[in-house]
Structure 1
Amino acid sequence: MSSLNLINTYSSDSDEADENNKSLPLPDSILKWQGVVHHTTIIDDPSQHGGRIRTFKHERGNWATLIYTNFFWKISDVPSVFMQTWIETIGNQLSITGNTCFEQFHISFTRTLILKYHWIESFVDSLKKLCDKMSQFTLKILDFKLYCNEEKSRTFLGLECYNRDGILDQFVLALNNLLTEYNLPAFYEEASYHISLLWFLGDEKENLKRLIPPLTTKLNEFLTEYPEESYIHVDRIECKIGNKIYNFPLRSDHLK
């Protein structure tokens, strides 16, 4: 019970108390105080965001957090015209309707985490120190692969990527150690780094898995024609906490 409620409900036990045992009146100075809302209930409305369902309850002081790198083709902050056109063509050829992730192309290095507000400053500082020690690296696109989130509420059609020199594995291992310090879950034990291109509501892996072989054939044909699209150079790591994004450059090659 708050101090205001205690004041409001307190009644005198002395013999001089009012025979009706009424509550003591609040002083004018307290009556003028303006309270603040301690907790506002946020109701998830899937219709406002393509049918997607929040995977964890929104609570005051909890911040959705993700560590990743954006997926850039060449020097542009958006996919190349060739890749955009190709992805749209692939999406139009599918027998099931999906949603393109053009505004969210990225490669995740953590699960979606729940970070406490009072952790943010130290967490960001620790992540910066970790990135200061890491070198830039290159990812190679391998093939198409299907992914489903733990809640089975969405299925993703993505491009699996691979880092040959092991720098990414070292980074994720160090990142997992950092997450342990905050009692946060590590990345998936059998991590599959990928760029999600299309997403579908529900668990559609059975309906989509038959499409993987022909899609991979189309991917190989595309990369043969545009070999430069096979590689992704990662020169920075990003961390999104709530609606704020932190950017951490990695060491350039000449600093190795």
Structure 2
Amino acid sequence: MVLVDYSDSEPEEDEKETRRQDPASLADSNILNRKRKTPPEPAADLPPLPAGFQDLYSTATRASTQDDPSLHGGRKRSVPHVEGNWPTHVYLEWHPSQTGSNILADLINSVNAYQTSQHSAKGAEHAVHSLLQSDLSAALPLHISLSRSLVLQTPQRDPFLNTLTSHLRSSSVRPFQVAFTSLKWVPNFERTRWFLVLGVQKPERDELNRLLKASNDAAAIVGLPPLYASGGFAAGGGLDDAFKGKIQKTPATRGRQTEQKDCSDAFHVSVAWSLKAPEEDLRDPMMQSEVAAILEKDLNKMRVSFEVVKVKIGNAVHSASLATKNDGNERGILG
């Protein structure tokens, strides 16, 4: 028995012949061909992500239940993890634009290159690590601290958040902008890390001091220490020696509001860190010509707007919008 061979094109020829004989099929074919030649409609622009979307992924996945510096480039916890305790931080968050990130990256690279060339003891501990990106090169937000690294117990979480919300509302702070004035190296409380920080210029209506007072008062009411009240460095909760003298040393007293003085010299944004202190003659990066040029040309012109206060309790981030109106119907934070 012999099978008859035929090409794959033969069924198509039969179909074409049928369509020649059927006007309806021919019309359908013409419509189909026109649709194929018509370019697809452009996709509508996707709606922007909600402002709180990034808060859902603000904390990295925990790699260990114990403090293991080897998992974090040699860094150690300033506050040990204890079950039932909730690390808490009040801050203003800044997501630099691509242009801003490029300027900051150039600044960090200039500091790192000069420090590496001048250090007598080179090594991993002296490396400068940028805070602009994660280990996977994802852009990271920067911040201005409004509290120390606080530790709340479970029953304190809601009272602290409610009290803070009330004090922030009473501050009547509206959205504002800040500019940068300086660059310096400063240590944390334990002097286990050094941070490269941008000094912040005092805003027009003293908004930073007003927000700091609201945060410190809320911390004092639940018996926690205020920020910028007893020296040290702000990234770890206090200040370095350069900031002492302008800040009142007020103990944290439960239920008692602190007297707020001008802490404008203390506010800052950390942009990089190192495990070891730079040598004494390298602790003022503004003395380096390349750094000074970037500060004068680009960074001094940068303005950063803030409209929200962030409160991070454990892995949860709460956003408190600043007041946007200044009339009888003004609605404050979370109001």
User: Would the TM-score normalized by the shorter structure come out above 0.5?
Assistant: yes
Q: What is the Cα deviation at residue 156 of structure 1?
A: 0.4
Q: How does 1:11-90 map to 2 (within 5 A)?
A: 42-73=65-96, 76=97, 80-87=100-107, 89-90=109-110
Q: What is the Cα deviation at residue 107 of structure 1?
A: 0.8
Superposed CA deviations along residues 65-105 of structure 1, whole A, max 9, x for unmatched, are: 111111234xx5x6635435434543552324211001241
Q: How does 1:96-107 map to 2 (within 5 A)?
A: 96=116, 97-102=127-132, 103-107=140-144
Q: 183, 195, 201: which one pairs with 2:275?
A: 201
Alpha-carbon distance change, 57 to 84 in structure 1, aligned in 2, over 3 angstroms: closer
State how far apart, in whole Å, the 2-side matches of 1:65 and 1:142 are: 28
Secondary structure of 1:80 counterpart:
helix
Query: Residue type of the partner of 2:73?
Result: G
Q: 213, 220, 230: which one pairs with 2:296?
A: 220
Superposed CA deviations along residues 190-220 of structure 1, whole A, max 9, x for unmatched, are: 4411111110013336363143322344311
Structure 2: gaps of 5 or more residues? 1-63, 117-126, 133-139, 230-246, 248-262, 331-335
The yes-or-no answer on 1:237 pairing with 2:276 is no
Alpha-carbon distance change, 145 to 42 in structure 1, aligned in 2, over 3 angstroms: same
State how far apart, in whole Å, the 2-side matches of 1:161 and 1:128 are: 24
1:94 paired residue number: 114
Query: Residue type of the partner of 2:270?
Result: S
Alpha-carbon distance change, 216 to 65 in structure 1, aligned in 2, over 3 angstroms: farther
CA contact (8 A) 1:111 1:185 kept: yes
Structure 1: gaps of 5 or more residues? 1-40
Q: What is the Cα deviation at residue 126 of structure 1?
A: 1.9
CA contact (8 A) 1:148 1:205 kept: no
Superposed CA deviations along residues 2-49 of structure 1, whole A, max 9, x for unmatched, are: xxxxxxxxxxxxxxxxxxxxxxxxxxxxxxxxxxxxxxx943110101
Q: What is the Cα deviation at residue 174 of structure 1?
A: 2.3
Superposed CA deviations along residues 139-159 of structure 1, whole A, max 9, x for unmatched, are: 111111222101000000111
Task: Name whichever structure is richer in strand by fraction.
Answer: 1
Secondary structure of 2:283 counterpart:
helix
Secondary structure of 1:95 counterpart:
helix
CA RMSD of aligned residues (A): 2.4
State how far apart, in whole Å, the 1-side matches of 2:304 and 2:324 are: 15
CA contact (8 A) 1:136 1:253 kept: no
Alpha-carbon distance change, 79 to 241 in structure 1, aligned in 2, over 3 angstroms: farther
State how far apart, in whole Å, the 2-side matches of 1:181 and 1:90 are: 44
State how far apart, in whole Å, the 2-side matches of 1:210 and 1:196 are: 15
1:117 paired residue number: 154
Identity %: 25
Q: 183, 186, 191: which one pairs with 2:223?
A: 183
CA contact (8 A) 2:92 2:310 kept: yes
Alpha-carbon distance change, 168 to 206 in structure 1, aligned in 2, over 3 angstroms: same
Runs of 4+ in 1 over 3 A off after TM superposition: 78-82, 202-205, 253-256
CA contact (8 A) 1:137 1:163 kept: no
State how far apart, in whole Å, the 1-side matches of 2:292 and 2:225 are: 32
Query: Residue type of the partner of 1:54?
Result: R
Q: What is the Cα deviation at residue 135 of structure 1?
A: 1.9
State how far apart, in whole Å, the 2-side matches of 1:177 and 1:245 are: 20
State how far apart, in whole Å, the 1-side matches of 2:144 and 2:316 are: 18
1:27 paired residue number: none
1:134 paired residue number: 173
Superposed CA deviations along residues 112-162 of structure 1, whole A, max 9, x for unmatched, are: 111111111121122222333332222111111222101000000111002
Alpha-carbon distance change, 87 to 244 in structure 1, aligned in 2, over 3 angstroms: farther
Q: 151, 162, 171: which one pairs with 2:211?
A: 171
Would you say how many aligned residue pairs link Structure 1 and Structure 2?
209
State how far apart, in whole Å, the 1-side matches of 2:114 and 2:319 are: 36
State the structure with more CA Rg: 2
State how far apart, in whole Å, the 2-side matches of 1:54 and 1:81 are: 27
CA contact (8 A) 1:158 1:197 kept: yes
